[in-house]
Amino acid sequence: MSYIEPAPIKDKENPLESMMSRFQIAAEHLGLNQQIYNVLKSPVKQVIVTLPITMDNGQIEVFEGYRVIHSNILGPSKGGIRMDMDVNLDEVKALAAWMTWKCAVVDIPFGGAKGGIKCDPGIMSAGEMERLTRSYTMALQEIFGPDRDIPAPDMGTGPREMAWLMDQYSRSYGMTINAVVTGKPVVLGGSLGRTEATGRGVMVTALAAMEKLKLNPFKATCAVQGFGNVGSWAALLLDERGVKIVALSDISQAYYNEKGINISDAVAYQQAHKGSLIGFSGAEVMPADELLFLDVDVLVPAAVEDVITVHNAKDIKARLIVEGSNGPTSAKADKILNDLGILSVPDILANAGGVTVSYFEWVQNRLGYKWTGERVNRRSDRIMKDAFNNVYETALQYDVSLRIAAYIVAIDKVAKTYTFRGGF
Ligand code: NAD
C-alpha cells in the first residue's frame, strides 16, 4: 500500500521528516487505513499567540508563542513548553506528534502536545521570564486544563516556570489546580523521582536490551554523549548496576577513561563548576564527536538531535544504542545501523520514563495524595520494562527494527482508538 505523501528524502534531514518517514513505514506494515493515516498526520489544534511584555528597561517587546495539540484521542494532551530562539511552528508540530507516539508506546492515557515561545531565556531576567510565562498562560487558559492539555518543562523552562504557570492558571479559576502542569517543584505537588525519571528509563530499557543481546552488565562498557539531566542520571544508574562508563561528553569536549569513569565524581565536579566538566581530572580529554565511534558495548546519545546521520553511522562500533535524547538518529542512518547489526532502542521508548513519571505527578495531584519515591520508581520501572517487552515482541512479529516496532505499537493504539470512537 502506498501513501499520498511520501516523506521528503533530502540530504539534510530534519526531525519532522525523520519522524514522518518512520511513521509512514510503520503505517505500511500495519496496513493502516489511508483515511486514518490522513487524520493522524495533522495536529488537531494549532494556536499562535502574541505576547506583549514590559521588559525591565520599560520597553514593550512582543513575543510569539505556540501550542500545538497533535492528538487528544487517548486522553488530555501532554507536552512540554520550549523557550528558545529557534522555536518555530513546524518544530512544535513535530515535537507534539512525537509526544503522541511516546505516550502511546508506554500506554499512558495521554495524547501529545507541545508548546513554545520564540525568545532567549539566557538573556532574560527572572521578572521578564515570569511576565512572559504568565502572559502565555493567560493567552492559553482555554486550551490548558487537567482534563484538556497539560504542559511541562522543555528546553529553556523548568520547575520555576511551571510554578508560575500553575499559579496563574489557578488564579484565573479562583482555586489551586496543580494538575494543570507537571514538572512542578515538589512542594507544589511535583512528583518525587521526576528528576531522574528519564535517565532511569534509559537504564531500565538498556538493561532489558542487554539481556536480549546476552550482554552481561558487569562486563559491558558504555559511552554517554551529553551529561545533562538525562545523560548524568543514565550514567549514574547504569554505573550502579555494574556497567563500566568509559566515556562521557558535554558540549565542550569528551572524556575517556579505559578503566571506567567515577560518575559520582564527575557529577560532583560538574555541580561545583557551573555545570561544566572542563578540568575534570578523572578521565583524558578527547574530541567530543569521537565518543560516538568508540568500541564500546552500549552508546547512549543524551544530548541533541541528529548526531548519528548517514555520514557517520557506518563508523559506530557499539552493539547497542539507547536513545536518551529525542531524535539523535536520522531516518537514513537507521538502515545503516540495521545493516551493521546494531540494535537501537528508539527515543520514543527509551526516554519515555520522563513522561511516565509526569503522568504519575498528574495522578497524584488528581488524588490529592503523595507517593514515595520508591513507589514512583517501582511503577515506572515496570511500565518501562513492559513497554520494552511489548515493542520487542512486535519487532519479532513484524520482522522490523525496534524503532519501527515502537511506531507500530503507538500508531496501532491511536488508530484503534480513533476507529472505535468514530464520530468523523
Ligand atoms: P540538558 O540541557 O540537561 O543536557 C544536555 C547535555 O548535552 C549537556 O551536558 C550539554 O553540555 C550537552 N550537549 C549539548 N550539545 C552537545 C553536543 N553537540 N555534543 C555533546 N554534548 C552536548 O538536557 P536534558 O534534559 O538532559 O535533555 C537531553 C535530551 O534528552 C534532549 O534531546 C531532550 O529533548 C531529551 N529528553 C529529555 C527529557 C527530560 O526529562 N529531561 C525527557 C525526554 C527527552
Sites in the chain below the pLDDT cut of 70: 1-13
Cβ-Cβ contacts under 8 Å for 164 (sequence gap 6 or more): 130, 133, 134, 137
* 125 Cα: distance to centroid of ligand 1 (angstroms): 23
Nearest CA to ligand 1 atom 29: 325
Ligand 1 atom with least separation from CA of 226: 7
Q: What residue ranges of the chain are covered by domains with CATH 3.40.50.10860? A: 43-185
Considering the candidates 114, 184, 244, 413, report the single residue annotated as catalytic: 114
Q: What pLDDT does 13 receive?
A: 62
* 87 Cα: distance to centroid of ligand 1 (angstroms): 16
* 229 Cα: distance to centroid of ligand 1 (angstroms): 7
Q: What pLDDT does 424 receive?
A: 82
Q: What CATH architecture does domain 197-350 belong to?
A: 3-Layer(aba) Sandwich (3.40)
Dihedral of alpha carbons 196, 114, 420, 27, sign = negative
Tell me the HSE value of 233 on the side-chain side, using a 13 A CA sphere.
Answer: 19
Q: What pLDDT does 5 receive?
A: 40
| Number of residues that make up the chain | 424
Residue type at position 82: R
Kindly list the protein residues whose Cβ atom lies closer than 6 A to any atom of ligand 1.
198, 225-231, 249-251, 288, 302-304, 324-326, 351, 354
Cα separation of 270 and 419, whole Å? Answer: 50
The residue behind cell 568509559 is 246
Give the right CATH number for 43-185 from 3.40.50.720, 3.40.50.300, 3.40.228.10, 3.40.50.10860: 3.40.50.10860
Q: What residue ranges of the chain are covered by domains with CATH 3.40.50.720? A: 197-350
Annotation says 244 is catalytic: no
Nearest CA to ligand 1 atom 30: 325
Cβ-Cβ contacts under 8 Å for 335 (sequence gap 6 or more): none
Residue type at position 227: F
Q: What pLDDT does 12 receive?
A: 52
* 231 Cα: distance to centroid of ligand 1 (angstroms): 7
Q: Could you report the per-residue pLDDT of 326-335, keeping only the tens digit for each?
A: 999 999 999 9
Please indicate, yes or no, whether the overall pTM of this predicted structure exceeds 0.85. yes
